[in-house]
Structures are given as C-alpha cells and as structure tokens.
Amino acid sequence: MSASQPISFSYEFFPPRSQKMERRLWRSIGQLERLNARFFSMTYGALGCAQQISIESAISMHQESPVAVAAHLTCANATAKGIDLVARDFYNAGIRRIVALRGDAVESNASGSAMYGYPSAAELVSALLKIGDFDISVAAYPEVHPQASSAKSDLFHLKRKLDAGAERAITQYFFDADKFLRFRDSAQRIGIDKPIIPGILPVHDLDMVKNFSQRCGASVPPSYDVLFASFKNKPEAQYRLSLDLSVELCQRLHQEGVEQFHLYTLNKTDMCLDIGLALGASISTPPFSSVA
C-alpha cells in the first residue's frame, strides 16, 4: 500500500441541544461538505429526548446534505424491539449506514441490572442485517476498552463484530501512532482483514481531553502538558500547535499505509477543515438539488 495514495476523511458530529448549537452544527456541516467527505456520522443520545434529537438530526443531515450519513445506534437503554424500530426508521428514511455500538446503559430495569436490548454490538450487527442492507461500522480500541478483561479478549470481540457482518472498524481516538500500528498488526495476526479507520481528535481544550480520556481508556502523552503550557493564554499559538500535532499524527499513519481518517469534530470544524487541507484535501462545490 503506497503512502502516495490520496487521503480521505469522514467526520463525526453530535446532536444539537439548543438553537444556537443547531446553527453551529449546520455551519460545521456546510464547511466540511466541501472536502468530499466519505460520510458524516451522528452520535446517539443516551435516553429519551436526547435519542429523538439524534434520530431527527441524522435524518435531517441525510435529507439536506449531499454527503452520505451514518447514524449511530446503541444496544443500551432500550429493548431489542425498540432498537429494531429505530433501525427501520433510519432505513425507511433512506439512511443505509449505521455505526453499531454497545453503548453505556444509564438506566436500570426492575431487577436493578443495566438494560441492553442486545448483549453486545456483534448481536446488534446481526440484527441490523436482518432488517436491511446496511453498511455497518463498529468501534475499535487501540488502547483497550475500559471494560475489557484483556487486550486479547478485546481484540477477539472486535473480530466477532466484523465477522457478524460489519464492513469496517473506527477506532477510539489516540495520540500515539505506534499504538495504532501495533493494534493493527495484532488485528491482522488474528485474521482481521477489514479496514480499521483511525479516529482523530484535535485538541481544542487539553484539560477537557484529559478528563474524557480517563473515562474512555485513551492516554494523553505527558509531553502535551509541557507543549500546551508553553503557549498559555495564546489561543492562536495553541490552535497551531494542536493542528500541527494532528497533521503529524496523520502523516505518520499515512506513511504506514493508512488512507482514511475519521475526525471527531465536537461540532467545531475550523481545525478539521485545516487538517484536511494540510493533508492534501481540495475544496469543491458540493452538488445541490434545485428547490422548486
């Protein structure tokens, strides 16, 4: 696989919870449509109205944007019947891409145990493919899922999800290229031959990233503290530093044959746009259908 091959991108958004956030989301989508993205993904709320906003946002993106949309769907906080109904809603709306996740249950049923409509994402993948011809992505963890008993068991669980019919895996974000490359090598050794797409998180706020990383099992290099502290109270310099770190990470992975990246936008797209341009993406005018 040649490092001279072009890089492509997909982008993740989260559903807006206010009119101001909704305006920012649509500005963000409009910016990144111009980079010929492979797809946009919309995350899934944990409960109730948050889930409904996620569903409506994904369907609106599909209807309004020329870019393909992947809707997230989790096993948590719902029955299998309820999950299947949401999947059919997506399918009937024309969405054919799903990011299938186990998710984190935040409610308990009458017995006091967490509610999962399907016991794992592997079963969710199988169920989705009985509903329709979905193109399914699943999650992967280069630094091991926090609830996994071991790196080996986590890797074999990834294989189960892919063997169930998922087309690719998208990783949790990471900041050390070698960790991803070792993970990819380990996956290949156990027979995983489907694409593993690196998830890239630009560092907009180092403290926020460190706090979130403690919960999701990702590690932040100790050197980041020193690097960002050197530009304290200099937002433009910190922006440039974060941009450079993300671009250098992607360039290193591209040299090792990676051709596609999934960027976690946090609905802030200036840096995602700059990363794409720095890595050779070109601006284009997306096709829009005429309005009667």
Q: Is the dihedral of CA 271, 281, 262, 63 positive or negative?
A: positive
Question: Is the separation of the CB atoms in 134 and 128 below 8 Å?
Answer: yes
Instruction: Give me the residues paired with residue 261 across strands.
Output: 9
Question: Is the separation of the CB atoms in 74 and 43 below 8 Å?
Answer: no
Question: Is the separation of the CB atoms in 245 and 275 below 8 Å?
Answer: no
- CA separation for the pair 281, 273 (Å, rounded): 9
Catalytic machinery residues: 12
- CA separation for the pair 50, 241 (Å, rounded): 34
3-state secondary structure 29-42: HHHHHHHCCCCEEE
- Give me the amino acid identity at 122: A
What DSSP state is assigned to residue 9?
E
